[in-house]
Amino acid sequence: MVLTEQLSRVEERFEELDRLMADPDVVSDYARVQELAQERSSLEALVNAYRRYQGLQSQLEDNRALLEENEDPELSELAEMEIAELEAEAAGLEDALRRMLLPKDRNDDKNVIVEIRAGAGGDEAGIFAANLLRMYTRWADDHKFKTELMSMSETGVGGIKEAILEVRGKGAYSRMKYESGVHRVQRVPTTESQGRIHTSTATVAVLPEAEDVEIEISPNEMKVDVFRSSGPGGQSVNTTDSAVRLTHLPTGLVISCQDEKSQLQNRLKAVRILKTKLYDIERQKQLEDLGAARRSQVGSGDRSEKIRTYNFPQGRVTDHRINKTLFQLEQVLDGDLDAFIEDLAAFDQAQQLQAMGEEA
């Protein structure tokens, strides 16, 4: 059985880690011990569940043997009842083990950088982009994640052209990665005298934040320009050249930051955003190399895909990937996204399980 073979290999590795951590030559190497302990911790829950599964299978064998040998009707009835209970528990545990065996996205525990851009729809698109920024900030606050607005370009009518929001906390990417794509709003703009429903869009990109060890940028690969920060309409909000524009020469990526008063702070922010974008480029290449058949439709982060519609006249929000509709528009825009996130995660997991079965 493929599942049992995979689990046996995991258990063997777990036991090997125990032996290595007890080896005197390894114990003296603190960094190596930490590395081994981290790997052991990541396998412990899976191994414990597998051992419980093995125990259930052993109990089932004993009960079935007892049922065949026993002639007492009362004992047979008890054995049959226990077998049914054990089989149900074993089936549930087997399903859980399959899910636990799914390869974990190595980015899941990372902080994220969320880019929100107004799309089609003029001023209304900018206002909708501001709504999304507020929605994600509220959601992050509710889940005790820390947020930092790294960059924002306003439209002057209560909207934004673009905003870059950092969300910090373990597991941020695992929850937010399903938000990448085109978000569509249908509503009557406040400026519309005839009461006609307009459709506007905004795009969202959720990027796992790159760590310094993952992306290195040589100073001669960057062109740095400084300029004076300005607010909506060109109004000066700073009297020094504190804003920073970085151009990554090999890729042509341009990052501007002007929200901080210090040029150094703006430069540090711009470098973090640039590293994250370069890391995302490499990650997208890896996804392409995997091939379309093995990529998750939900977690692919395709920014051209229309993923969700927010319909104000009907008070509904529809996620098109899982055909889920909630008539809770206000709550969702206030950050109550968990119903969508949980179903998207479950759907993504189901797709991976199906792919695993096909490959087996």
* Listed residue (127, 126, 171, 172) closest to 147, CA to CA: 172
Identify whether 274 is part of a domain. yes
Return d(Cα 201, Cα 54) in angstroms, integer: 52
Domain boundary pick from 53, 79, 101: 101
List phi, psi (to 5°) of 234: 85, 5
Identify whether 16 is part of a domain. yes
Residue 301 has pLDDT above 50, yes or no: no
pLDDT of residue 334: 97
> Rounded mean pLDDT of the chain?
85
Do residues 95 and 189 share a domain?
no
Do residues 195 and 89 share a domain?
no
* Cα→Cα distances 201→72, 130, 289, 330, 338, Å: 71, 12, 30, 18, 22
Do residues 135 and 243 share a domain?
yes
Going by pLDDT thresholds of 50, 70 and 90, the confidence category of residue 358 is low
Do residues 148 and 79 share a domain?
no
Q: Has this prediction a pTM greater than 0.75?
A: no
Residue 292 has pLDDT above 70, yes or no: no
Q: Which range among 54-68, 218-232, 247-261 shows the weakest confidence by mean pLDDT? A: 218-232
pLDDT of residue 212: 61
> At 276, which CATH number?
3.30.70.1660
Identify whether 223 is part of a domain. yes
Helix segments in 145-262, DSSP class H = 172-176
Supply angle C-alpha 121, 125, 128, rounded to 5: 150
Residue 294 has pLDDT above 50, yes or no: no
Side-chain-facing half-sphere of 218: CA atoms under 13 Å: 4
Do residues 6 and 142 share a domain?
no
> At 53, which CATH number?
1.20.58
Q: Which range among 106-120, 146-160, 283-297, 328-342 shows the weakest confidence by mean pLDDT? A: 283-297
How many domains are contained in the chain? 2
Average pLDDT of the residues in 226-253: 71
pLDDT of residue 89: 94
> Which residues face 316 on adjacent strands?
311
- How would you list the strands of the sheet with 243-248, edge to edge? 222-227, 243-248, 253-257
Higher pLDDT among residues 295 and 164, named by residue:
164
Going by pLDDT thresholds of 50, 70 and 90, the confidence category of residue 281 is confident
Supply angle C-alpha 215, 220, 224, rounded to 5: 95
Average pLDDT of the residues in 270-297: 69
Average pLDDT of the residues in 160-172: 93
Domain boundary pick from 101, 126, 147: 101
CB 177 within 8 A of CB 301: yes
Residue 12 has pLDDT above 90, yes or no: yes
Going by pLDDT thresholds of 50, 70 and 90, the confidence category of residue 91 is very high
Domain boundary pick from 101, 135, 163: 101
Enclosing H/E stretch for 167: strand 160-168
Identify whether 185 is part of a domain. yes
Do residues 194 and 302 share a domain?
yes
Do residues 288 and 159 share a domain?
yes
What is the Cα Rg of the chain in Å?
26
Average pLDDT of the residues in 276-294: 67
pLDDT of residue 290: 46
Do residues 228 and 328 share a domain?
yes
Q: Which amino acid is at 272?
A: R
pLDDT of residue 220: 87
Q: Which range among 145-149, 198-202, 254-258, 311-315 shows the weakest confidence by mean pLDDT? A: 254-258
Residue ranges making up the domain that contains 344? 112-350
Q: What percent of the chain stands above pLDDT 90?
A: 43
Do residues 127 and 88 share a domain?
no
